[in-house]
């Protein structure tokens, strides 16, 4: 195992991410860590988040504004997400069909070591219900 110089900082970022509710930006986490006087710089927060995301310990996605957002993953290993566009509710899902399809498709084209990222964005049940009731009020 490689020994990382910044292990404690990374642990601290991991904890802050776990405490945050929903998806947060690196800047938001940096601000939280600053309040705690940890002395962790923004660049370190970025690096730690990228590392966590690469290892599947954090979910990352781009907001409609193009900002990278992160969230602590509750499922270990490879998985997929259902994300509500409106409130950010995230459900972690296994997608056996997708795994088989990805392997088959990659192999059919002679690709090995194939990886993929598949997240589904939509409206969750309560947001959809809220919109439906808003429509009723206006009608
Ligand atoms: Zn996840
Ligand atoms: Zn929602
Ligand atoms: Zn997959």
Model pLDDT for residues 32-73, shown as the tens digit of each residue: 999 888 889 999 999 999 999 888 788 888 776 788 889 888
* 90 CA to centre of ligand 3 in angstroms: 16
* 104 CA to centre of ligand 3 in angstroms: 13
Q: In whole angstroms, what is the distance from residue 122 CA to residue 78 CA?
A: 21
Which H or E run includes 138?
helix 125-138
Nearest to 68 by CA among 25, 29, 30: 25
Q: Which ligand is nearest to the CA of 125?
A: 2
**So what's the architecture of 1-73 in CATH?**
Orthogonal Bundle (1.10)
* Top-confidence range, 63-67, 123-127, 131-135: 123-127
Q: Which ligand is nearest to the CA of 130?
A: 2
- Helices 7-19 and 26-35, axial angle in degrees (round to 10): 100
Tokens representing residue 95 in the block: 């997608």
How much of the chain exceeds pLDDT 70, in percent?
93
Q: Which ligand is nearest to the CA of 124?
A: 2
* 109 CA to centre of ligand 2 in angstroms: 38
> What band does 81 get if pLDDT is binned at 50, 70 and 90?
confident
**So what's the architecture of 75-139 in CATH?**
2-Layer Sandwich (3.30)
* 116 CA to centre of ligand 2 in angstroms: 25
Q: Which ligand is nearest to the CA of 71?
A: 1
Q: Residues 1-35: pLDDT tens digits?
A: 455 556 888 899 999 999 887 788 999 999 999 98
pLDDT at 4: 53
Its pTM stands at 0.61
* 136 CA to centre of ligand 2 in angstroms: 19
pLDDT at 96: 92
Q: In whole angstroms, what is the distance from residue 129 CA to residue 84 CA?
A: 13
User: CATH 3.30.1490.190: which residues of the chain?
Assistant: 75-139
Q: Which ligand is nearest to the CA of 102?
A: 3
User: CATH 1.10.10.10: which residues of the chain?
Assistant: 1-73
Query: Do the Cβ atoms of 68 and 46 come closer than 8 Å?
Result: no
Q: Which ligand is nearest to the CA of 78?
A: 3
């Amino acid at each position: 195992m490689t020994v990382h110089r910044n292990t404690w900082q990374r642990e601290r970022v991991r904890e802050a991410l776990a405490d945050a509710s929903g998806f947060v930006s690196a800047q938001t986490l940096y601000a939280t860590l600053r309040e705690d006087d940890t002395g962790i710089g923004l660049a370190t927060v970025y690096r730690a988040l990228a590392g966590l995301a690469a290892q599947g310990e954090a979910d990352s996605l781009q907001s409609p504004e193009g900002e990278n957002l992160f969230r602590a993953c509750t499922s270990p290993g490879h998985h997929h997400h259902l994300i509500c566009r409106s409130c950010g509710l995230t459900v972690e899902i296994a997608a056996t069909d997708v795994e088989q399809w990805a392997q088959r498709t990659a192999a059919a084209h002679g690709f090995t070591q194939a990886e993929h990222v598949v997240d589904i964005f939509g409206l969750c049940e309560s947001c959809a219900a809220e919109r439906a009731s808003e429509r009723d009020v206006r009608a």
